Structure 1
């Protein structure tokens, strides 16, 4: 028997000659960029540092496009967004110690959101590793220990010959579902030393498929086909797997209502008759889902936000499709199916029977009406007007990136993303500063359409330096900053809990003047002019800032019946 992996391609005479006579002037960094190019990378993000200069010098001898940000964590957010938009592993080049560690919060977000990021860092010289010399600049003798609890996998290099295989293994890991960030580290001397190794040309780094077990999908199909009140919770795994079309087809075949989690925004059409939208922090929605006799959960671990702060107690049978084995049945007993969402939904589509439920759309309308009435009773017209203005100003095919700010919290529940993989936020790990640098990464991935970033003034100050990046690369991002003079959501939480807020008030700059000092156009808007000003900024090529001074309030969630 002959297996595919037993077949070895013989090099041509020209290939042999090229391998025996590699071009002069190459170093370990060249092996890095040649490997990335061979794997299909076209764009890299990062920030240079002394130990990593071998990689950065090699960039000028490659065809890779480099997008350099001003803070490593922001470079990580940009790579995260690039990975979400393209589905490719986004290379992130970093230096040792402080530079590497500064990226940790971004890599935590990428891990929580299953965004494929390939972080490649330098390390102190090999003489300082394994108990050798000490006192190196940036020294972290066990640097990988800082990343092991954050990323999917860690890959260490100690010789030049290890570089291509280590990066290829990391690439494969990043793109095997669930996608996620991975870590490669290479010592400074290995990157700087000249190399006589052949140019890297042939690499095999095919991600593994996570295929559902047929006996499990058969049971799931039987349960769904014979359910009286089926319902579906669609999470971020549906978006990552590009499975929104499969989900819709299955929901329509079953006449099953669908709600999307905050990470799964866009996985199901917002205005569809079966759409419960994303009102997860609402007891009416929770009651509806608890009443389902069969609940299909696709690509969600039913964590804190998706379970209405762990108050969700399903009474029916739960079927959970999840690519992350650690999340399978981690919060609720279920028929657990470890699989890629797209493959599992395809299997279900082939095996479920068609069912008709003339009451499904009416039951969905009833829930949404109750939700709207509850929100309307809270007199939050300013917040609803601002969000509606953003929606009208943003082109339907433009992606949006939301920081951890009150308007984003509204958007999680109330914003129609108008498509799959188009609305992104930092709600996975919940770190500040995500919106603007992530939008820059998305604009680098697709310069043909404008990108919106939304931040509060607190989050904006985390990434204000990236106005220089936006200007330098002329990235097509409009940044909406809602300025309420502090950490608005924390102010609200503390006032509600303790009667007054502490450490939430901020002295802040004139954001319009600050943007203009970077050569980026800025405009101060109002509630009444927001839609026009935002639409104009989005329609104008290049970066821009729209400042909205406003104190927004959060709607009251309901956890208890």
Structure 2
């Protein structure tokens, strides 16, 4: 039923709204989408069946949003989630907020109640009705759109995809009244796009080049915008010309190869690495907004001179005011800076210093948390080539985000935009569906329970995903916070299932080990090379790393 009336499912009708929708997805080159069927969106499922697009059915709409995000992060392409009206759409909001905070190009296509049943300014009690479904998405999307006729559907899909993928990328909501899906209508023409990259300010560019050439201790701070623009090679080349260290944010991990001579060890939250920032006289910030998580809530002092490369001048200036702002595509702007930049002396000396800093940081990890050192080494030595590591919000995940040597761009998906617990496993399903490499998810026991029903999705679709569940009996990060404050543990110790039995009940092979020693390495090597989904449960409790806020070393707020 749809609002008290019978929904007609029109199969393969050339001019139906549903057919226009899937035609647009085909034009966009969409190969995989994620969704959950509902009475209002069944015509989409029917129309998409003959297109060759793989529509993966999940068990909760939030998982569709996360999976679309994971797919987008792994491929750089548009991630698509297709959900139904009202609660189905609303269930995606947590995932959409994470995509917005992490600038992931995600398109959420949701049905809405039939246009014929809507009354302006009134909620009548139609099935799944909300007063303004589009407005639910406005705070957590780059754009929220609703079509007004069946003929508008295809151009609206193309426009939404264009807006979502244009720098700075982000999620877009597209609402479609359900009756439009079964209506026949002529397809309206697509409106011309308005997304344009502005011309580079020549005066500002010359000033930036002169400042960098004259810098005594330059540093490059590269963020997610640099990675999404594919700017890694030119950032690496510029760093070598300047003999400048490269510091990467969480979302830029893997921007340049781990053995690049200018790459500083992670994370900047370690005092040994933070020294590089403190002593820099000029910082070149590429594709970053200097968020609180990376800057220890802006306790890092503003550098004496700051040059920002960003697609959005306001984004570049919202936390630290730049002296020079170069508005444009990160790859193109940095490539222009490289061109003609003289080679500064000191590159071998810089590389030697960075090696010494890394040795100090690794020694600190071994001394403070030997289990974490063992865990990180196991990941480094056992994961297969091409694997994409997907981290959830958990203590083991924070160690990955801070210290794992990411082998290349888009080889780590880390939810440090909104910081949404439960991101890891469903995002890994999206990575696995992309077939770019084996998805290896690291989750805590608490976060995995958010979405454990998606084991059914992994099994049904036979997705190449390995889930490592680090079981410490609850919310380990929150338990640490309470202990640090001298408070009793309340709400953080959890009753959890037998995860091995749970996974096996879905037909997913699973096993359990204690700690991150030889048995963990052996099984992780085996499971991450399997031709089926697998779950590896590890009984271990880790102390949080330096990149978590209770352990930040900077105490005074920077002026």
Same fold per TM (> 0.5)?
yes
**Aligned residue for 1:122?**
111
The answer to whether the aligner puts 1:317 opposite 2:305 as a matched pair is yes
Q: Cα–Cα, structure 1 residues 201 and 515, in superposed 2: closer, same or farther, change >3 Å?
A: farther
Q: Which residue does 2:455 correspond to in 1?
A: 467
Structure 1 counterpart SS, 2:285? strand
Q: Which residue of 1 aligns with 2:380?
A: 391
Gaps of 5+ in 1: 1-21
Decide which moves more: 336-345 or 206-215. 206-215
After TM superposition, give the deviation of residue 279 of structure 1 in Å: 1.4
| Residue pair 2:466, 2:536 contacting (<8 A) in 1 also | yes
Contact 1:173 / 1:182 at 8 angstroms: preserved in 2? yes
Using structure 2 for the length normalisation, give the TM-score.
0.91
- In the alignment of these two chains, the number of paired residues is 536
In the TM superposition, what whole-angstrom CA distance separates every residue of 1:110-139 from its partner, at most 9, and x where no partner exists? Answer: 111111111111111113142366111111
> Structure 1 residue 300: deviation in Å?
1.3
Which position in structure 2 is the counterpart of 1:287?
275
Give the deviation of 1:192 after TM superposition: 2.6
Describe the shift of the 1:67–1:214 C-alpha distance in structure 2 as closer, same or farther (beyond 3 A). farther
User: Take 1:311 and 1:24, find their aligned partners in 2: how far apart are those partners?
Assistant: 60
Task: Output aligned runs, 1:120-519, within 5 Å.
Answer: 120-126=109-115, 127-131=117-121, 134-193=124-183, 195-197=184-186, 208-209=196-197, 212-334=200-322, 335-358=324-347, 359-378=349-368, 380-446=369-435, 449-519=437-507
Number of the residue aligned with 2:81? 92
Q: Residues 345 and 129 (structure 1 numbering): CA distance in 2 closer, same or farther, change over 3 Å?
A: farther
Partner of 2:4: none
CA distance in 2, matches of 1:510, 1:201: 55
The secondary structure found in structure 1 opposite 2:334 is helix
1:45 equivalenced with 2:37 (yes/no): no
Cα contact 2:265–2:357 (8 A) shared by 1: no
Deviation at 1:427, TM superposition (A): 1.1
Cα offset for 1:203? 8.9
Greater shift, 265-274 or 184-193, is seen at: 265-274
User: Which whole-Å deviations, capped at 9, do the CAs of 1:30-87 have from their partners, x for residues lacking one?
Assistant: 1111111122212211111122222222222433211111111111111011112222
**TM-score (norm. length: structure 1):** 0.91
State the match for 1:12 in structure 2.
Answer: none
CA contact (8 A) 1:172 1:206 kept: no
The CA deviation string for residues 134-174 of structure 1, in whole angstroms up to 9 with x for no partner, is 11111112111111111001111021111122111111101
Please report how far the alpha carbon of residue 196 of structure 1 lies from its aligned counterpart in structure 2 after TM superposition.
4.4
**Offset of residue 493 of structure 1:** 1.1
Aligned to 2:554: 559
SS at 1:51's partner residue?
A: coil
Judge which range, 202-211 or 457-466, deviates more. 202-211
Deviation at 1:338, TM superposition (A): 2.4
Is the contact made by 1:265 and 1:417 (CA closer than 8 Å) also made in structure 2? yes
Compute the displacement of 1:251 (Å).
0.8
SS of equivalent to 1:302: coil
1:211 Cα offset (Å):
5.1
Deviation at 1:470, TM superposition (A): 0.5
* Alignment CA distance shift 1:408-1:259 (3 Å): same
Q: 1:129–1:223: structure 2 CA closer, same or farther, 3 Å change rule?
A: farther
